[in-house]
Structure 1
């Protein structure tokens, strides 16, 4: 049917057809709007979620039973964390592979022997392993590592490249399940993207497993090389509440804006988000600034347990979420270090919450 009739003037269109036409037009407009808003398709993590803990390197070699409690709590992964060292504003980087006799002061769990043996012990317990190198900076924060001179950058990068590739060889030789190429060097990552992209290519020639990087909670969107990795790794110390002892429901509500941002980032990159670290101190105000470890602490196990419960309820079921690693877990009770560390959930209400959810 023509809309215009050249000989008899306009054709009258029945009302019911006009209404149908308008409804179809509006539906098309609405669909186009929705498609415009949903610029990235949803993403769903494929496979079981990683239930892990970050191990604290022990001073002396522990017994084979030292990882049994990880399994008893429902954990299936451990992160082994070999530290390297530098000083603020100095371009040299030191680690077990280039210290020689100077490395004898390191704790057993930080030495090449200790790292390798810890991985073997985890295997014996049926645990999977993430190897996660970490920089310890004396006199400053590794988060803000930077240099003014190009020559200093090049000196540091040469040393640091040896460090990452040294443990890539170890990860490959021991069949490590996941290699986190480093932890929270976000300013370095943003300032020197070409170095990192080449380093990742070099790692891939050595190690054939999955790769991630541990970005700080407030900088993960700035990291320029996620497309080269398998997971978006986030050290998840998101601020949640200024209250002294917030309830689980309050904390769940506080997670919502962070979850929207994480979900959008996962959709945009089409990658799973992995919490390479998550944890809270057993202190009042533990969710106000969860990254802090040196501030005064009034002991409060309930505050820590509530924070764990909220994360496990709000974050863990998200379809784009790959799981996470508790910060932190001791292999030994020697010198009662564990009792003095508020971040550890071991022997506290938070471990009960973790066991209930993970098992």
Structure 2
């Protein structure tokens, strides 16, 4: 009896060592057991709107909206501008007042909200490359940009927004000034008491040092999937495999769910080659958008680490039958039916 108990103890200890080594080596798994977030990325309205703009959102069975007030900076310059600073900005949906009303109307329609401030740089340059030449310039930018993030953290708390995405695609800033991010997260937590994430680009999410301070690993999921002009669903699923392994490993390493803070594809040829490109010179191809959505929902959506995501992007008040000028939008295209088909599934 004693020898049997001793052997059992050794087996249990061995299993514990195996589990510990598995965790330390980054091979542990993570299983998300929360609600699947079915969202759309809502473009801030230029003028005030009514809650009727959310009816089409509910028709595709979306349950969340990402509300995105932009602030603005010129490339290489430290001063940051946003609607709450001086109140001169003209887009209603990017003011704190308009943002508050947008969120409250979404809640009144039974939708949950992720508040997600963005930066617009110059003429639309990639914010991940935003950089400054001197420490003095960085300190100016950090003060003004930090005020913006805290202003909208207060909006999130006031409106009881369901999640706050603290920033979007600031990879160079994150790499050069990590101390700012740890400090601003601490300050945000003193204001906002809900769930937090940050949205980093598909190719640099693994470089973010502060995921352990947040509730979700936020990925803007523009992963390259196929170089073909019009890939099939099978082609696209194959293209996901390498990325899925990396995402699963990373979720296991941090023991956090992964949220696609943005996902989407243009309705054009070669849309899955470099999905982050906004190039509209390619011929229109609505079937590629449909197939890319289908591949994502069939191959990625039910992964055990997957918390859901927000399709890019959705224009409030778009007239019935009219297609958005931005080819990423699925509205009034076959891809809208595909989105509804999968969002309706529980």
The answer to whether the superposition gives a TM-score over 0.5 is yes
Tell me whether 1:127 sits opposite 2:114 in the alignment.
no
* Residue in 2 that maps onto 1:88: 75
Secondary structure, counterpart of 2:267 in structure 1:
coil
* Residue in 1 that maps onto 2:307: 322
- Aligned pairs for 1:1-359 within 5 A: 39-40=25-26, 41-101=28-88, 103=89, 106-139=90-123, 140-333=125-318, 338-359=323-344
Larger Rg: 1
CA distance in 2, matches of 1:107, 1:338: 22
CA distance in 2, matches of 1:31, 1:330: 52
Kept after mapping to 2: 8 A contact 1:330/1:338 = no
Deviation of 1:192 (Å): 0.7
Secondary structure, counterpart of 2:218 in structure 1:
strand
Deviation of 1:99 (Å): 3.2
Secondary structure, counterpart of 2:329 in structure 1:
coil
Query: 288-297 or 206-215: which moved more?
Result: 288-297
Deviation of 1:222 (Å): 0.3
CA distance in 2, matches of 1:196, 1:31: 36
Deviation of 1:295 (Å): 4.0
* Residue in 1 that maps onto 2:6: none
Query: 325-334 or 179-188: which moved more?
Result: 325-334
For structure 2, the residue ranges without an aligned partner over 5 or more in a row are 1-13
For structure 1, the residue ranges without an aligned partner over 5 or more in a row are 1-28
Kept after mapping to 2: 8 A contact 1:230/1:271 = yes
Deviation of 1:34 (Å): 9.5
The normalised TM-score by structure 1 is 0.87
**Structure-2 change in CA distance of 1:42 and 1:283 (3 Å):** same
Q: Please give the root-mean-square deviation of Cα atoms over the aligned residues, in Å.
A: 2.1
Secondary structure, counterpart of 1:274 in structure 2:
strand
**Structure-2 change in CA distance of 1:169 and 1:37 (3 Å):** closer
Deviation of 1:145 (Å): 1.1
Deviation of 1:47 (Å): 1.1
Kept after mapping to 1: 8 A contact 2:37/2:64 = yes
Kept after mapping to 2: 8 A contact 1:184/1:215 = yes
CA distance in 2, matches of 1:30, 1:335: 60
CA distance in 1, matches of 2:128, 2:41: 19
Q: Deviations over 1:159-197 (max 9, x none)?
A: 011000000001001100000000001110111111100
Q: Deviations over 1:50-89 (max 9, x none)?
A: 0000001122222321111111111000000000000011
**Structure-2 change in CA distance of 1:297 and 1:30 (3 Å):** same
Secondary structure, counterpart of 2:303 in structure 1:
coil
Query: 39-48 or 335-344: which moved more?
Result: 335-344
Secondary structure, counterpart of 2:82 in structure 1:
coil
Secondary structure, counterpart of 2:131 in structure 1:
coil
CA distance in 2, matches of 1:158, 1:276: 26
